[in-house]
């Protein structure tokens, strides 16, 4: 059984997730609370308010200010929309959003979003495991990585009219990272359709990595042989590595990553310790066994 986004309880009832779970009698089959968040000793009982989630965003396609995406994406048209899956595969496929919604019913995932700038949010995402989508194609033996490409539309996206980054936005994962069940494709949040400023109509979410790894408005997914160069890697390789795992032991060149500020908890609230892999260490640490995570940052 799956919960449809239209059946999700309104956001005011989300405010205390334990009360929410108890009141509805939800089980793991219909409500997926990510283990890393559930086990995090510092995880807030309260989800980040919807207004913060949709008004404080990094989305440079619409501008570099935190309020720019909400302000300048209001008229962004994301229907019709399709995703192409190609590259080192036996046969490429193209799926419309209608196809995707029919094939992959959404379920709820409560994940913490951690930004490299030192702020975090706890968000009830609606989506499905990326591996379900990737299994629709048969990658060849050459495929080692998965590359993601966002839409290129400077007429609608004012930020793409300037060389802030090498447009369109690109990101990448190793295949085992992409196939991990915690990695999801997001189609909504708080039981609602995904707002434009949060990456409508479909975006990536990799909860143990910094937020910029989770590309928005994706139009293309490619299996590739060589490690792709992501947009932020190309812009500043010293600051943004390929892996970009949340690691409090590796500082950003310009600031510490040891603590974070939870958006919406007030300017006087204390910063909290950042957990390894954003609190998902038990689930994903094995992916990086024997790797030097200061070298592969």
Residue 296: inside a domain:
no
Dihedral angle of Cα 70, 72, 75, 77, to the nearest 10 degrees: -90
What pLDDT shows up at residue 266? 79
Residue 294: inside a domain:
no
What pLDDT shows up at residue 33? 55
Structural domain that includes position 265: 5-288
Cα–Cα distance for residue pair 215/212, rounded to 1 Å? 7
**pTM confidence score:** 0.88
What pLDDT shows up at residue 267? 77
What pLDDT shows up at residue 269? 84
Query: What are the distances in angstroms from CA 32 to CA 124, 191, 242, 289?
Result: 10, 13, 28, 26
Residue 90: inside a domain:
yes
Per-residue pLDDT of the chain (297 residues; tens, 9 = 90+): 333 333 333 455 455 554 544 443 433 333 445 544 444 433 445 899 999 999 999 999 999 999 999 999 999 999 999 999 999 999 999 999 999 999 999 999 999 999 999 999 999 999 999 999 999 999 999 999 999 999 999 999 999 999 999 999 999 999 999 999 999 999 999 999 999 999 999 999 999 999 999 999 999 999 999 999 999 999 999 999 999 999 999 999 999 999 999 999 877 889 999 999 999 999 999 999 999 999 999
Query: What are the distances in angstroms from CA 257 to CA 120, 177, 244, 274?
Result: 12, 22, 12, 7
Residue 64: inside a domain:
yes
What pLDDT shows up at residue 11? 56
Residue 28: inside a domain:
yes
Residue 158: inside a domain:
yes
What pLDDT shows up at residue 46? 87
First to last CA, the chain: 39
CATH number of domain containing 73: 3.90.420.10
How many CB atoms sit inside 10 A of residue 49's CB? 18
Q: Are strands 170-174 and 184-189 parallel, antiparallel or unpaired?
A: unpaired
- Expressed in percent and rounded to 5, the helix, strand and coil fractions of the chain are 25, 25, 50
Residue 293: inside a domain:
no
Q: Which two tokens stand for residue 196?
A: 């434009």
DSSP letter at 14 equals H
What pLDDT shows up at residue 16? 53
**Exposure of 98 in the CB half-sphere (CA atoms within 13 A):** 2
Coil vs helix vs strand at 258: coil
Burial of 295 (0-12, 13-18, 19+ CB in 10 A): exposed
Q: How many domains in the chain? A: 1
Query: What are the distances in angstroms from CA 233 to CA 35, 145, 229?
Result: 29, 16, 6
Number of residues in the chain: 297
Residue 254: inside a domain:
yes
């Amino acid at each position: 059984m799956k919960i449809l986004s239209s059946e999700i309880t309104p956001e005011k009832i989300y405010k205390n997730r334990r009360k929410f779970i108890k009141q509805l009698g939800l089980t793991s089959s219909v409500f997926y609370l990510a283990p890393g968040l559930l086990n995090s000793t510092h995880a807030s009982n309260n989800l980040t308010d919807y207004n913060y989630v949709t008004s404080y965003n990094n989305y440079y396609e619409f501008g570099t200010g935190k309020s720019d995406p909400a302000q300048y994406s209001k008229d962004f048209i994301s229907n019709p929309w399709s995703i192409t899956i190609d590259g080192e595969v036996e046969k490429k496929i193209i799926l419309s959003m209608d196809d995707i919604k029919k094939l992959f019913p959404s379920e709820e995932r409560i994940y913490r979003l951690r930004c490299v700038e030192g702020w975090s949010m706890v968000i009830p995402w609606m989506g499905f495991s990326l591996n379900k989508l990737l299994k629709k194609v048969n990658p060849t033996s050459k495929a080692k990585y998965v590359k993601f490409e966002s839409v290129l539309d400077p007429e609608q996206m004012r930020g793409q009219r300037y060389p802030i980054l090498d447009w369109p936005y690109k990101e990448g994962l190793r295949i085992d990272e992409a196939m991990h069940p915690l990695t999801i494709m997001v189609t909504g949040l708080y039981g609602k359709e995904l707002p434009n400023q949060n990456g409508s109509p479909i975006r990536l979410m990799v909860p143990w990595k910094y937020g910029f790894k989770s590309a928005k408005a994706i139009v293309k997914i490619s299996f590739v042989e060589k490690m792709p160069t992501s947009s932020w890697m190309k812009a500043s390789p010293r600051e943004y590595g390929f892996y970009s795992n949340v690691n409090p032991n590796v500082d950003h060149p310009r600031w510490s990553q040891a603590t974070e500020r939870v958006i919406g908890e007030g300017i006087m609230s204390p910063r909290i310790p950042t957990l390894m892999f954003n609190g998902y260490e038990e689930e994903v640490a094995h992916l990086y066994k024997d790797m030097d995570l200061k070298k592969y940052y």
